[in-house]
Amino acid sequence: MTGGGKQEPVFDLIKSMSKAEKRNFKLYATRLAGNQQAKFLTLFDFLDSSDEYDEAKVLQRCPIKKEQLPNMKAHLYKQILVSIRLLNVQHSQSMQLREQLDFARILYDKGLYRQSDKLLEKVREQALEIEEYSIALEVTDFKLRIDMLNVTSEMTATSDLSYRQLLDICSRVETIAELSNTTVRAYSLYQKLGYARTQKDLDLIIHYFKPRLEAYVGRKMSFLEKFYYYQASVWYYYIQHDFARCYRYSRLWVDLFEANPRMKILMYDNYMKGCSRILDGYYMMWKHKHFVENLAHFEREFETLSRLNDNAYILSHRILYTARIHQSFMEGTFKEGLWLVRELEQFIDHYSKHLNIHYKMLMNYKIACLYFGDGNYVKCMEYLARIIGTKDPQVRRDVQCYARILNLIASYEAGIDYNLDYQIRSVYAFLVKMNDMHAVQREMLQFLKKLNTFYADHLKDELKILYERLKPYENHPYERRTFYYLDILSWLESKITGCSVGEVIRRKFRETTSGKSHV
């Protein structure tokens, strides 16, 4: 056993390999002669056939001494990566450019400067074409070193050109670094807190991010610079609840790739993330028709993109599962949405090491909401317990807070309300600690606290009062964030009318799509 979940890199790498990669590795490895190679092949075969890494069994089954094992694992790890690189280089232009750069260095070391320089020029042209600025920068620096060996009037002019290109590339790299850093800061803030919670949050977000983005307005930018600018803008507006502008920049992001099909394959992950943001934007704005159209578009793209590699497969499935659950939320088809749960659970279990806690927490919350909408409150609470039991309170604090509130409502609905007062005090303390106690949450907790004091024939009137008190917050600049996590109004309507939550949402969906308004 790995012991307490300890990771073993070579074992994880072998388990991630496709059949084609394993077959290619065996062919590659058998060409290597010697006893050591035979040993690492034995180690490969044993690890490939094992369900988990157990060092005691490795030493028992493989002709390797304990003191040799660390070096043997490192050697095997390296050889696997070399074989995968040889297999995949034909499919990756970036890897091909790196290979050509290595060839130029070999020619340089042999004193074949003209051949090296000619190859470098070709690499630089191709690198600039696909905006691989790190490679172009390395090539340009290398060419300047070659120019120093043979200074002529012709070489001086060439060197001046290389120098100007070097400055231009450095400027673009600096812009990309600044914009990507802005994106990371905005996204990490969202992962930690969720949407802006107060006017103070909004002011701080605008004060920090707005001048950094406005600095690039009207500037002529390359493909990559535009991409990072659009990406940073999306997260800037997303955490402000400004979904219209968020959608606008998501559309610019995706259209940029659609206009450059070559980059769509080279940067497939960023293209798919743009598609995800468009779907999310339509969902948050509750534009069902556009959501369904774009989901159908992504499903067509999915067939091609998901086959590119493991990372593309994982990312595309993440987006697809999330979008299909959102479609169930919009349409009120909770029972149909639950058909996804078993498949989603298998996906999360199989790719657990590749999925971060943020994604797992969010999926547990969405599954809990599906069960709540279907009226299965006990199952809802099972999934919420996975979130409430999270050891780090700083990870998706927003989801942790709303999981506790939904758990209170589910407990009441399931009839498990014997310790409701204690639960309310516990949730109240957690929200205060997380600085997430605002008007909607306060109204909800006060209502739940008094719930057991209401007479049965007065309950409906009290529910109507709470509904009227919460309804104005639906369009409040930052109080509305609660309704992104909990459809409290639909739950209240269900209690007032005696219908299920699913029936209330399905009615709203029919009225919305038929052009009618609803209360």
Per-residue tokens: 249: 């920049």
Which of 270, 176, 162 is closest to 221 using CA atoms?
A: 176
- Predicted local distance difference test score (pLDDT) of residue 3: 39
- Residue 202, C-beta contacts closer than 8 angstroms, at least 6 positions apart: 196, 240, 477, 478
pLDDT tens per residue across span 155-165: 555 556 667 77
> Which string of DSSP letters, residue by residue, matches 155-199?
HHHHHHHHHHHHHHHHHHHHHHHHHHHHHHHHHHHHHHH-S--SH
Among 224-238, 288-302, 328-342, 400-414, which stretch is predicted with the lowest mean pLDDT? 400-414
Q: Are the C-beta atoms of residues 484 and 260 closer than 8 Å to each other?
A: no
CA dihedral 160, 163, 169, 170 (to 10 degrees): -150
pLDDT band at 354 (very low <50, low <70, confident <90, very high): confident
**Which residues, other chains included, contact 450 with Cβ-Cβ below 8 Å and sequence gap of 6+?**
462
Angle, in degrees to the nearest 10, between helices 357-374 and 501-513: 90
Listed range (143-152, 376-385, 494-503) with the worst mean pLDDT: 143-152
Please tell me the distance from the alpha carbon of residue 322 to that of residue 324, in angstroms, as a whole number.
Answer: 6
> Which of the two residues, 144 and 455, has the higher pLDDT score?
144
Q: How confident is the model at residue 435 (pLDDT cuts 50, 70, 90)?
A: low
Q: Check residue 102 and give its pLDDT.
A: 92
Q: Which secondary-structure segment (H or E) carries 382?
A: helix 377-388
pLDDT-based confidence at residue 65 (cuts at 50, 70, 90): confident
Per-residue 3-state assignment (H helix, E strand, C coil) for 233-257: HHHHHHCCCCHHHHHHHHHHHHHHH
Range in 24-28, 63-67, 355-359, 449-453 the model is least confident about: 449-453
pLDDT given at position 227? 94
d(CA 476, CA 186): 22
State the pLDDT confidence band at 516, using cuts at 50, 70 and 90: very low
Q: 488-497 and 501-513 helices cross at what angle (nearest 10)?
A: 110
Whether 188 has a pLDDT exceeding 90, the answer reads no
Average pLDDT over the chain, rounded to whole? 85
Which tokens sit at 356? 């971060």
Per residue in 23-52, is it b (16+ CB within 10 Å) or e — as a string? ebbeebbeeeeeeebebbbbbbebbeeeee
Pull the structure tokens for residue 425.
Answer: 């005090």
State how far the alpha carbon of 89 is from the alpha carbons of 12, 176, 204, 258, 508, in Å. Answer: 22, 26, 46, 25, 53
Mean per-residue pLDDT, 225-242: 92
Which two tokens mark 66? 């304990």
Burial class (CB in 10 A: 0-12, 13-18, 19+), 454: middle
| 3-state DSSP assignment of residue 15 | helix
Which region, left, alpha or beta, applies to residue 396 given φ > 0 means left and ψ of -120 to 50 means alpha? left
Enumerate residues 6+ apart whose C-beta is below 8 A from 257.
Answer: 263, 264, 267, 270, 271, 274
**How far apart, in whole angstroms, are the C-alpha atoms of residue 258 and residue 263?**
9
| Average of per-residue pLDDT across 191-213 | 83
Can you tell me the distance from the alpha carbon of 487 to that of 2, in angstroms, rounded to the nearest whole number?
43
8 A C-beta contact, residue 477 and residue 241? yes
DSSP codes of every residue in 439-497? HHHHHHHHHHHHGGGS-HHHHHHHHHHHHHHHGGGGG-TTTTHHHHH--HHHHHHHHHH
